Amino acid sequence: MTSTDPITYEVIDNAAVITLNNPKNLNSLTLPQYDELAKFISKANDERDTVITILQSTGRAFSAGADAKFVGKQDNELETWLRSSLAMQVHLTQTIMNHKKILAVALNGFAIGLSAAFVMMCDLVYVHDASKTFLLAPFPNIGIVSEGGSSATFPMRLGWSKAAEALLLSKRISGKDMMKSGVINKDYEGKYKSAEEFNKAVLDDLRQATENLHPASIFEMKELLKTNFKPIVSYANSQESYVGLTNWTSGTPMERFRKLTSGELKHKM
């Protein structure tokens, strides 16, 4: 793959590295690109000689979520959203939940919407600068319900009160709150000049941390960690996707996305 691809994939030693590479659009993703992301995560799961899968990005944001211009151009036909929303979300979320490798995310900035949801499903979370990092679930802002199992993962990882603020009021989850609740494993305190330098540091730290560990033991331990967690998130994901289908086919989200793009509607970001 070339550096101009919006999502890239490479294997570096014992790690599969997936990079969101569209910094001009704040690494926002079209719905087909979320499918592509799922394909890369699945590919990383099948690598024979890796232990780690890292999700990272370029520029100043991890991901601004769904591409507003792309979504705003979609129709509200049931057939469109059975594929674009229900099937895509169920497939992406289950692909992440079924991932057997250590799934780490290098947050060089904020993450929004479905992108924030899958951050909360990662095993390890590293941030470049917690003071400039936040997650945002703007689902009420665009007229839909929670996505990517976030109605389960947010309460699990943040506690009920913070999750309720984040999901019901579309309130930012600050890096400080993420640190307090234990979501963040390490804050690099903004000491790197670029996302690329930060990404390399995370990769180096993870390679060192997994050196001399037994891969099979890691995979078995991860499966045990997910024993109680996975069914709850999977059920939440199926219900979110089913309810969300009604939202998308109403046409309201597309209209609100168009208003966000034009500036008629204020974005919670």
Tens digits of residue pLDDT in 213-236: 999 999 999 999 999 999 999 999
Tens of pLDDT, residues 17-28? 999 999 999 999
Question: What is the pTM for the complete model shown?
Answer: 0.94
Catalytic: which of 47, 77, 147, 165? 147
**Domains of the chain, CATH where assigned:** 7-196+214-262 (3.90.226.10)
Contact 250, 80 (CB under 8 A): no
Q: In the predicted model, is pLDDT for residue 148 greater than 70?
A: yes
Tens of pLDDT, residues 107-147? 999 999 999 999 999 999 999 999 999 999 999 999 999 99
Report in angstroms the alpha-carbon separations of 20 from 6, 30, 129, 213, 217: 6, 12, 18, 29, 30
Residue 36 CB-density burial (10 A; 0-12 exposed, 13-18 middle, 19+ buried): middle
18/86 Cα distance (integer angstroms): 24
233/154 Cα distance (integer angstroms): 10
To the nearest whole percent, how much of the chain has pLDDT over 70?
98
| Helical ranges in 59-113 per DSSP H | 68-72, 78-81, 88-97
> 18: which 2 tokens?
């997936």
The yes-or-no answer on residue 196 being catalytic is: no
Q: How confident is the model at residue 269 (pLDDT cuts 50, 70, 90)?
A: low
101/41 Cα distance (integer angstroms): 10
